[in-house]
Copies of this chain bind each other. A is one copy, B any other.
Amino acid sequence: MTADPHSTAGPASRHGHDHAHCIADALTRADALCAERGARLTALRRQVLELVWNSHKPRGAYAILEDLSQREGKATAPLTVYRALEFLVEHGLVHRIESLNAYIGCAAPGAVHSGQFLVCETCGNAVEIDDPRIRAAIGTIAAEHGFQVSRPTVEVRGTCTDCQEKTP
């Protein structure tokens, strides 16, 4: 992993945002949610969640695996990570970005959300949105086709504001 402008080296990362707070917040919400549901947020799962939240970029399972191995000081098997991710995705704590085969922390776990993302092809950051208009439009057209929606996926590739400024 090389140095990278958006990732979080220190407590107060660039963008003027305190990312440590993002992480702490995500973990707190996860604790609450799992407690509420009687789901077991194991040490391992919590650790993986934290690693997913390490940045606002989608991260591949094997990247997370590397981090985990490093932090644990011993090699970990892929399956370990995949199982944790499966749990986290099931409980809406993490989303999978299909077009990247990568995972990212959910911005609003617990709330109803359909998983919509703006993914920057330059810096790799992904912002979760949950626009009612998109949801509505999808619902409408699905209904017109007699199609019963179970899981809508919206992943918009493009360039974020920051990256546009840098490359005028």
Assess the A148–B154 pair: CB atoms within 8 A. Answer: no
Task: Enumerate A110-127 residues with CB–CB distance to B below 8 Å.
Answer: 118, 120-121, 127
Q: Which residues of B contact A146 (CB under 8 A)?
A: 160-161, 164
Contact-residue bracket for chain A = 20 to 34
Q: Return chain B residues, CB-CB under 8 Å to A148.
A: 158-159, 164
Interface centre among A99, A118, A129, A140 (most CB of B within 10 A): A118
Note all chain B residues with C-beta closer than 8 A to A127.
145, 147
Bound Cα distance A159, B142 (Å): 10
Contact of A157 among B150, B158, B164 (CB under 8 A): B150
Q: Is the CB of B121 within 8 A of A150?
A: yes
A136: which B residues are within 8 A, CB to CB? Answer: 137
Contact indicator B145/A134 (Cβ below 8 Å): no
A107 to B79 CA separation, bound complex (whole angstroms): 38
- The answer to whether A153 touches B151 (Cβ under 8 A) is no
- CB-CB under 8 A from A99, the residues of chain B are 98, 153
A78 touches B (CB below 8 Å): no
* Chain A to chain B: the 8 pairs with minimum beta-carbon distance, closest first: A146-B161, A133-B137, A98-B99, A151-B157, A149-B158, A98-B98, A134-B137, A148-B159
